[in-house]
Protein backbone atom coordinates (compact mmCIF):
# COMPACT_ATOMS: atom_id res chain seq x y z
CA UNK A 1 0.00 0.00 0.00
CA UNK A 2 1.33 3.42 -0.97
CA UNK A 3 2.07 5.79 1.89
CA UNK A 4 1.31 9.52 1.60
CA UNK A 5 5.01 10.18 1.08
CA UNK A 6 5.28 7.57 -1.67
CA UNK A 7 2.17 8.90 -3.40
CA UNK A 8 3.50 12.46 -3.27
CA UNK A 9 6.79 11.36 -4.81
CA UNK A 10 4.93 9.54 -7.57
CA UNK A 11 3.01 12.72 -8.36
CA UNK A 12 6.20 14.79 -8.36
CA UNK A 13 7.78 12.34 -10.81
CA UNK A 14 4.77 12.50 -13.13
CA UNK A 15 4.69 16.30 -13.07
CA UNK A 16 8.42 16.40 -13.76
CA UNK A 17 7.89 14.27 -16.88
CA UNK A 18 5.12 16.57 -18.11
CA UNK A 19 7.33 19.61 -17.57
CA UNK A 20 10.07 17.93 -19.59
CA UNK A 21 7.85 16.96 -22.52
CA UNK A 22 5.61 20.03 -22.76
CA UNK A 23 6.36 23.58 -23.86
CA UNK A 24 3.33 25.82 -23.18
CA UNK A 25 1.91 26.11 -19.66
CA UNK A 26 -0.94 28.01 -18.09
CA UNK A 27 -0.94 28.70 -14.34
CA UNK A 28 -4.03 29.79 -12.43
CA UNK A 29 -5.46 29.91 -8.92
CA UNK A 30 -8.57 30.88 -6.99
CA UNK A 31 -10.55 34.10 -7.17
CA UNK A 32 -9.41 36.83 -4.77
CA UNK A 33 -5.86 35.40 -4.63
CA UNK A 34 -3.93 35.57 -1.37
CA UNK A 35 -0.21 35.46 -0.62
CA UNK A 36 0.04 31.69 -0.94
CA UNK A 37 -1.76 31.59 -4.28
CA UNK A 38 0.22 34.45 -5.80
CA UNK A 39 3.59 33.48 -4.39
CA UNK A 40 3.14 29.91 -5.61
CA UNK A 41 1.98 30.95 -9.07
CA UNK A 42 4.73 33.46 -9.68
CA UNK A 43 7.46 31.19 -8.33
CA UNK A 44 6.37 28.37 -10.65
CA UNK A 45 6.10 30.84 -13.54
CA UNK A 46 9.64 32.13 -13.01
CA UNK A 47 11.05 28.60 -12.68
CA UNK A 48 9.40 27.33 -15.87
CA UNK A 49 10.46 30.45 -17.77
CA UNK A 50 14.06 29.87 -16.68
CA UNK A 51 13.81 26.44 -18.29
CA UNK A 52 12.86 27.96 -21.64
CA UNK A 53 9.13 27.23 -21.36
CA UNK A 54 6.29 29.45 -22.55
CA UNK A 55 4.25 30.29 -19.46
CA UNK A 56 1.18 32.43 -18.78
CA UNK A 57 -0.50 33.29 -15.46
CA UNK A 58 -4.22 33.99 -15.48
CA UNK A 59 -6.29 35.01 -12.45
CA UNK A 60 -9.86 36.19 -12.59
CA UNK A 61 -9.05 38.89 -10.01
CA UNK A 62 -6.14 41.29 -10.09
CA UNK A 63 -3.12 41.24 -7.77
CA UNK A 64 -4.02 42.90 -4.44
CA UNK A 65 -2.09 46.07 -3.67
CA UNK A 66 -0.39 44.35 -0.72
CA UNK A 67 1.32 41.85 -3.02
CA UNK A 68 2.36 44.25 -5.75
CA UNK A 69 5.93 44.10 -4.43
CA UNK A 70 6.35 40.44 -5.45
CA UNK A 71 8.93 40.17 -8.23
CA UNK A 72 7.11 38.93 -11.31
CA UNK A 73 3.64 40.07 -10.17
CA UNK A 74 3.29 42.09 -13.36
CA UNK A 75 3.03 38.77 -15.24
CA UNK A 76 -0.37 38.01 -13.67
CA UNK A 77 -3.12 38.80 -16.17
CA UNK A 78 -6.89 38.97 -16.04
CA UNK A 79 -7.18 38.40 -19.79
CA UNK A 80 -6.92 35.01 -21.47
CA UNK A 81 -7.37 33.73 -24.99
CA UNK A 82 -7.95 30.15 -26.11
CA UNK A 83 -7.15 27.66 -23.35
CA UNK A 84 -6.70 24.90 -25.92
CA UNK A 85 -3.32 26.32 -26.91
CA UNK A 86 -1.67 25.14 -23.70
CA UNK A 87 -0.04 21.75 -23.22
CA UNK A 88 -0.75 21.68 -19.48
CA UNK A 89 -2.56 23.77 -16.91
CA UNK A 90 -1.46 24.13 -13.29
CA UNK A 91 -4.30 24.85 -10.86
CA UNK A 92 -2.74 25.99 -7.59
CA UNK A 93 -4.20 26.34 -4.10
CA UNK A 94 -7.69 25.17 -5.18
CA UNK A 95 -9.57 22.28 -3.62
CA UNK A 96 -12.45 22.71 -6.09
CA UNK A 97 -12.16 23.69 -9.75
CA UNK A 98 -14.96 26.24 -9.61
CA UNK A 99 -12.81 28.33 -7.26
CA UNK A 100 -10.83 29.59 -10.26
CA UNK A 101 -13.96 31.38 -11.48
CA UNK A 102 -14.96 31.83 -15.10
CA UNK A 103 -12.13 29.65 -16.42
CA UNK A 104 -13.35 26.48 -14.70
CA UNK A 105 -15.28 24.88 -17.55
CA UNK A 106 -12.57 25.57 -20.14
CA UNK A 107 -9.87 23.97 -17.95
CA UNK A 108 -11.64 20.61 -18.05
CA UNK A 109 -10.79 20.29 -21.76
CA UNK A 110 -7.04 20.70 -21.31
CA UNK A 111 -4.63 17.90 -22.22
CA UNK A 112 -3.16 17.85 -18.72
CA UNK A 113 -4.61 19.44 -15.59
CA UNK A 114 -2.27 19.45 -12.60
CA UNK A 115 -3.62 20.36 -9.17
CA UNK A 116 -1.13 21.40 -6.47
CA UNK A 117 -2.77 22.16 -3.16
CA UNK A 118 -2.56 21.69 0.59
CA UNK A 119 -6.31 21.60 1.19
CA UNK A 120 -8.24 18.34 1.18
CA UNK A 121 -9.46 18.01 -2.41
CA UNK A 122 -12.99 16.71 -2.82
CA UNK A 123 -13.47 17.41 -6.51
CA UNK A 124 -10.84 15.14 -8.05
CA UNK A 125 -10.91 17.40 -11.09
CA UNK A 126 -7.26 17.04 -12.14
CA UNK A 127 -5.33 14.39 -14.05
CA UNK A 128 -2.52 14.71 -11.50
CA UNK A 129 -3.04 15.83 -7.91
CA UNK A 130 -0.11 16.79 -5.73
CA UNK A 131 -2.12 17.32 -2.56
CA UNK A 132 -0.71 17.22 0.95
CA UNK A 133 -2.97 18.50 3.76
CA UNK A 134 -0.01 18.28 6.14
CA UNK A 135 1.92 20.90 4.15
CA UNK A 136 1.84 24.42 5.53
CA UNK A 137 1.03 25.97 2.17
CA UNK A 138 0.87 25.42 -1.55
CA UNK A 139 4.17 27.32 -1.67
CA UNK A 140 5.79 24.50 0.27
CA UNK A 141 4.63 22.00 -2.35
CA UNK A 142 5.80 24.17 -5.23
CA UNK A 143 9.20 24.33 -3.55
CA UNK A 144 9.32 20.51 -3.52
CA UNK A 145 8.39 20.50 -7.22
CA UNK A 146 11.14 22.96 -8.12
CA UNK A 147 13.63 20.70 -6.38
CA UNK A 148 12.27 17.72 -8.31
CA UNK A 149 12.62 19.43 -11.71
CA UNK A 150 16.01 20.81 -10.65
CA UNK A 151 15.01 24.44 -11.19
CA UNK A 152 17.28 27.04 -9.63
CA UNK A 153 15.67 28.85 -6.70
CA UNK A 154 16.65 32.41 -7.60
CA UNK A 155 16.24 35.35 -5.19
CA UNK A 156 13.00 36.34 -6.96
CA UNK A 157 11.60 32.82 -6.63
CA UNK A 158 12.70 32.73 -2.99
CA UNK A 159 10.82 35.95 -2.20
CA UNK A 160 7.62 34.57 -3.71
CA UNK A 161 7.79 31.20 -1.96
CA UNK A 162 8.75 32.73 1.38
CA UNK A 163 5.72 35.03 1.05
CA UNK A 164 3.49 32.03 0.31
CA UNK A 165 4.64 30.18 3.42
CA UNK A 166 4.73 33.26 5.65
CA UNK A 167 1.17 34.32 4.90
CA UNK A 168 -0.46 30.90 5.04
CA UNK A 169 1.14 30.07 8.38
CA UNK A 170 0.03 33.39 9.84
CA UNK A 171 3.62 34.56 10.24
CA UNK A 172 4.60 31.09 11.45
CA UNK A 173 2.17 30.95 14.36
CA UNK A 174 -0.75 28.87 12.99
CA UNK A 175 -0.88 25.19 13.89
CA UNK A 176 0.04 24.23 10.32
CA UNK A 177 3.56 25.53 11.00
CA UNK A 178 5.98 22.64 11.35
CA UNK A 179 9.62 21.68 11.13
CA UNK A 180 9.40 21.50 7.33
CA UNK A 181 8.00 25.04 7.19
CA UNK A 182 10.99 26.45 9.04
CA UNK A 183 13.47 24.30 7.12
CA UNK A 184 12.21 25.49 3.75
CA UNK A 185 11.92 29.08 4.97
CA UNK A 186 15.56 28.95 6.07
CA UNK A 187 16.61 27.66 2.65
CA UNK A 188 14.62 30.44 0.97
CA UNK A 189 16.32 33.06 3.12
CA UNK A 190 19.67 31.55 2.14
CA UNK A 191 18.54 31.82 -1.50
CA UNK A 192 17.85 35.54 -1.20
CA UNK A 193 14.50 36.13 0.53
CA UNK A 194 14.76 38.98 3.07
CA UNK A 195 12.31 38.29 5.95
CA UNK A 196 12.38 41.87 7.18
CA UNK A 197 11.60 43.42 3.79
CA UNK A 198 8.88 40.88 3.01
CA UNK A 199 7.20 41.31 6.41
CA UNK A 200 7.32 45.08 6.08
CA UNK A 201 5.63 44.97 2.68
CA UNK A 202 2.88 42.62 3.86
CA UNK A 203 2.21 43.70 7.44
CA UNK A 204 3.58 47.22 7.80
CA UNK A 205 2.46 48.92 4.60
CA UNK A 206 -1.32 49.11 5.05
CA UNK A 207 -2.94 51.57 2.62
CA UNK A 208 -5.06 54.29 4.19
CA UNK A 209 -8.16 52.76 2.60
CA UNK A 210 -7.62 49.61 4.68
CA UNK A 211 -7.19 51.67 7.85
CA UNK A 212 -10.40 53.60 7.14
CA UNK A 213 -12.23 50.34 6.52
CA UNK A 214 -10.90 48.71 9.69
CA UNK A 215 -12.10 51.72 11.70
CA UNK A 216 -15.62 51.00 10.46
CA UNK A 217 -15.35 47.22 10.78
CA UNK A 218 -14.23 47.26 14.41
CA UNK A 219 -17.44 49.03 15.34
CA UNK A 220 -19.28 45.83 14.38
CA UNK A 221 -17.23 43.69 16.77
CA UNK A 222 -19.37 41.27 18.77
CA UNK A 223 -18.45 38.70 21.41
CA UNK A 224 -20.86 35.85 22.04
CA UNK A 225 -21.04 32.47 23.74
CA UNK A 226 -19.37 33.81 26.90
CA UNK A 227 -16.74 35.56 24.80
CA UNK A 228 -15.64 32.40 23.03
CA UNK A 229 -16.97 33.47 19.62
CA UNK A 230 -15.96 36.82 18.19
CA UNK A 231 -17.09 38.36 14.92
CA UNK A 232 -16.80 41.46 12.73
CA UNK A 233 -18.55 42.44 9.51
CA UNK A 234 -17.94 44.56 6.44
CA UNK A 235 -20.70 45.69 4.10
CA UNK A 236 -20.60 47.07 0.57
CA UNK A 237 -21.63 50.50 1.85
CA UNK A 238 -18.65 50.53 4.23
CA UNK A 239 -16.33 49.68 1.33
CA UNK A 240 -17.71 52.59 -0.69
CA UNK A 241 -17.45 55.05 2.21
CA UNK A 242 -13.87 54.01 2.97
CA UNK A 243 -12.98 53.98 -0.76
CA UNK A 244 -11.69 50.47 -0.13
CA UNK A 245 -11.82 47.10 -1.90
CA UNK A 246 -12.69 43.63 -0.64
CA UNK A 247 -8.97 42.78 -0.71
CA UNK A 248 -8.45 45.33 2.08
CA UNK A 249 -10.30 43.03 4.51
CA UNK A 250 -7.40 40.55 4.50
CA UNK A 251 -6.29 39.66 8.05
CA UNK A 252 -9.25 41.42 9.70
CA UNK A 253 -10.39 38.04 11.02
CA UNK A 254 -7.00 37.58 12.68
CA UNK A 255 -7.64 40.66 14.83
CA UNK A 256 -10.75 38.95 16.22
CA UNK A 257 -8.88 35.68 16.70
CA UNK A 258 -6.22 37.49 18.74
CA UNK A 259 -8.72 38.62 21.40
CA UNK A 260 -8.15 36.86 24.71
CA UNK A 261 -10.79 34.23 25.37
CA UNK A 262 -11.96 33.97 21.75
CA UNK A 263 -11.85 30.39 20.50
CA UNK A 264 -13.52 30.96 17.12
CA UNK A 265 -13.29 34.15 15.07
CA UNK A 266 -15.74 34.89 12.27
CA UNK A 267 -15.51 37.64 9.67
CA UNK A 268 -18.47 38.36 7.41
CA UNK A 269 -17.88 40.19 4.13
CA UNK A 270 -20.87 41.25 2.06
CA UNK A 271 -20.19 40.53 -1.61
CA UNK A 272 -21.80 42.20 -4.61
CA UNK A 273 -23.82 39.11 -5.55
CA UNK A 274 -25.92 38.97 -2.33
CA UNK A 275 -23.60 36.37 -0.82
CA UNK A 276 -21.55 36.76 2.34
CA UNK A 277 -18.01 35.43 2.42
CA UNK A 278 -17.49 33.89 5.85
CA UNK A 279 -13.89 33.61 7.08
CA UNK A 280 -13.37 31.36 10.09
CA UNK A 281 -10.39 31.01 12.42
CA UNK A 282 -9.98 28.74 15.43
CA UNK A 283 -7.44 28.40 18.19
CA UNK A 284 -7.75 24.63 17.98
CA UNK A 285 -10.75 23.61 20.09
CA UNK A 286 -13.26 23.71 17.22
CA UNK A 287 -12.64 22.39 13.70
CA UNK A 288 -13.76 25.26 11.46
CA UNK A 289 -13.04 23.26 8.29
CA UNK A 290 -16.03 21.09 9.15
CA UNK A 291 -18.16 24.18 9.71
CA UNK A 292 -17.15 25.70 6.38
CA UNK A 293 -17.66 22.33 4.70
CA UNK A 294 -21.25 22.28 5.95
CA UNK A 295 -21.86 25.33 3.73
CA UNK A 296 -19.87 24.06 0.76
CA UNK A 297 -16.58 25.70 1.71
CA UNK A 298 -13.35 24.28 3.02
CA UNK A 299 -9.89 24.92 4.38
CA UNK A 300 -8.11 23.60 7.45
CA UNK A 301 -9.14 22.77 11.03
CA UNK A 302 -7.99 26.20 12.22
CA UNK A 303 -8.60 28.33 9.10
CA UNK A 304 -11.45 27.95 6.64
CA UNK A 305 -13.98 29.90 4.59
CA UNK A 306 -17.28 29.56 2.78
CA UNK A 307 -19.94 31.59 0.98
CA UNK A 308 -23.56 31.78 2.11
CA UNK A 309 -26.46 33.44 0.31
CA UNK A 310 -28.70 35.77 2.30
CA UNK A 311 -28.68 38.80 4.55
CA UNK A 312 -26.39 39.04 7.57
CA UNK A 313 -29.04 38.04 10.08
CA UNK A 314 -29.74 34.83 8.16
CA UNK A 315 -26.06 34.05 7.60
CA UNK A 316 -25.05 34.77 11.21
CA UNK A 317 -27.80 32.59 12.65
CA UNK A 318 -26.78 29.61 10.53
CA UNK A 319 -23.07 30.04 11.20
CA UNK A 320 -23.61 30.42 14.94
CA UNK A 321 -25.78 27.32 14.99
CA UNK A 322 -23.08 25.37 13.19
CA UNK A 323 -20.36 26.56 15.56
CA UNK A 324 -22.21 26.03 18.82
CA UNK A 325 -23.38 22.63 17.69
CA UNK A 326 -19.92 21.57 16.48
Helices and strands per DSSP (H, E), number in the chain: 12, 12
pLDDT score, position 2: 60
pLDDT score, position 123: 52
pLDDT score, position 81: 78
pLDDT score, position 205: 93
Phi then psi for residue 183, to 5 deg, are -65, -50
pLDDT in tens, 220-257: 999 999 999 999 999 999 999 999 999 999 999 999 99
Give alpha helix (H) positions in the chain.
4-21, 35-50, 104-107, 138-148, 155-168, 179-190, 195-203, 208-217, 236-242, 252-257, 288-294, 312-324
Could you tell me which of 112, 111, 110, 90 has the C-alpha nearest to residue 100? 90
| Yes or no: domain 4-202 corresponds to CATH 3.90.1640.10 | yes
pLDDT score, position 1: 58
Could you tell me which of 16, 41, 26 has the C-alpha nearest to residue 84? 26
Domain ranges of the chain: 4-202, 208-324
pLDDT score, position 130: 92
pLDDT score, position 121: 58
pLDDT score, position 185: 97
DSSP helix/strand/coil, 200: helix
What's the rounded Cα separation, in Å, for the pair 186 and 199? 15
Domain 208-324, CATH among 3.40.50.2300, 3.20.20.70, 3.40.50.720, 3.10.310.30: 3.10.310.30
Q: Please list the ranges in the chain whose pLDDT falls under 70.
A: 1-2, 121-123, 326
Q: Tell which phi-psi region holds residue 222, choosing left (phi > 0), alpha (psi between -120 and 50) or beta.
A: beta
Amino acid sequence: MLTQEMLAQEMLTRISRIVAECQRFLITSHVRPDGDALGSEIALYLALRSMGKEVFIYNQDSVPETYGFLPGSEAVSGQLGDVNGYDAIFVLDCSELDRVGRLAEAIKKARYVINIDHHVTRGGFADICLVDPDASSTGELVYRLLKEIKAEVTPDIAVNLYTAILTDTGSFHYSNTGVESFRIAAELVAAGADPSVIAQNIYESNPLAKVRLFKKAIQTLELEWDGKIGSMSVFQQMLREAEAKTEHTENFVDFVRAIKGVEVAVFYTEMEDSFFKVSLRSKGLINVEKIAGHFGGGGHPNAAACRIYGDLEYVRSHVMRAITGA
